[in-house]
Amino acid sequence: MSLITPDFGLLFWMTLIFAIVFFILAKFGFPLLTNMVAKRQERIDRSIADAREIEARMKTFAAEQEAALAEARRTQAELLREASETRSKIIAQAKADARAEADKILAEAKVQIAAEKESALRDVRKEVALVSVQVAEKVLRHELSDESSQRAYLDKLLDEAAQVPLKS
């Protein structure tokens, strides 16, 4: 037996056996495994891609949330500012109105008071005039009960009238 000459019988069997082994393994063995691993690989890749996408989306969400929050804060501040402005405006308005009303009332009261005063004064004057006329009447009646006194009184009045300088 030579070491380096291929023997036909062994070559024949080797070819046959290898062909059978190849057929079995290529049909039922390796493709099943490699396909499964490829599928798993694909799934892992897709999962990673998904995770990355979700992460990106979360980041966008967070940014959007941040923006919304800032917007809300801004609006709040705006509203608060507007509200306080409105409030002070209303207060000012109310104050002004109140003052105007008060002034009006005061003015009316003054007018009324003045009128009341006037009428009261008039009444008092009338009263005083009446009283003084009555008094004067009584005095006159009393004093002029006799002729002498009437004369004296007339004289006196004439004196007085003479004493008072003429006016205008």
Partner 1 sequence: MRLLSFISLLLLFHPLAAEPLDMDEYLYGHVMDSYEWHITTVKGHPVSVPLPVIVYSRQSGWHCFSSKHLEEGEEFEGFFIAPKGAAHEGKVMEHTPKGDIRPLDISITKNVAGLMFNSFVLVLLVLLGVRWYRRHDAREEAPGGFTGLVEMLVMMVEDDIIKPCVGPDYKRYSPYLLTAFFFIFVNNLLGIVPFFPGGANITGNIAVTFALALFTFLAVNLFGNKHYYKDIFWPDVPLFLKAVPLMPLIEIIGLFTKPFSLMIRLFANILAGHMMILGVVAVIFLTAELGAAMNAGLTVIAVVFGVFMDLIECLVAFLQAYIFTMLSSVFIGLSRQHPEQEEQTKKP
CB of 49 to partner 1, least distance (A): 15
Residue whose CB is less far from partner 1, 28 or 147: 28
Instruction: Tell me the two tokens of residue 110.
Output: 């003054």
Asked if 57 interacts with partner 1 (CB under 8 A), we say no
- Residue 144 DSSP symbol: T
Q: Residue 12 and residue 18: Cα distance in Å, rounded?
A: 10
Half-sphere exposure of 99 (CA within 13 A, CB side): 6
Q: Residue 133 and residue 146: Cα distance in Å, rounded?
A: 20
CB of 69 to partner 1, least distance (A): 40
Closest CA to 17 of 5, 9, 6: 9
CB of 50 to partner 1, least distance (A): 14
Instruction: Tell me the two tokens of residue 165.
Output: 């300088």
CA dihedral 62, 65, 71, 77 (to 10 degrees): -100
128: Cα separation from own chain's centroid: 65
Cα→Cα distances 27→20, 22, 31, 33, Å:
11, 8, 7, 11
CB of 46 to partner 1, least distance (A): 10
Q: Which region, judged by CB under 8 A, interacts with partner 1, from 9-17, 55-63, 85-93, 149-157?
A: 9-17
Asked if 7 interacts with partner 1 (CB under 8 A), we say yes
Asked if 9 interacts with partner 1 (CB under 8 A), we say yes
Asked if 1 interacts with partner 1 (CB under 8 A), we say yes
**Residues of this chain, 12-41, that bind partner 1 according to CB under 8 A:** 12-15, 17-18, 20-22, 24-26, 28-34, 36-37, 39-40
Asked if 51 interacts with partner 1 (CB under 8 A), we say no
Asked if 4 interacts with partner 1 (CB under 8 A), we say yes
Q: Site residues (CB under 8 A) for partner 1? A: 1, 3-15, 17-18, 20-22, 24-26, 28-34, 36-37, 39-40, 43
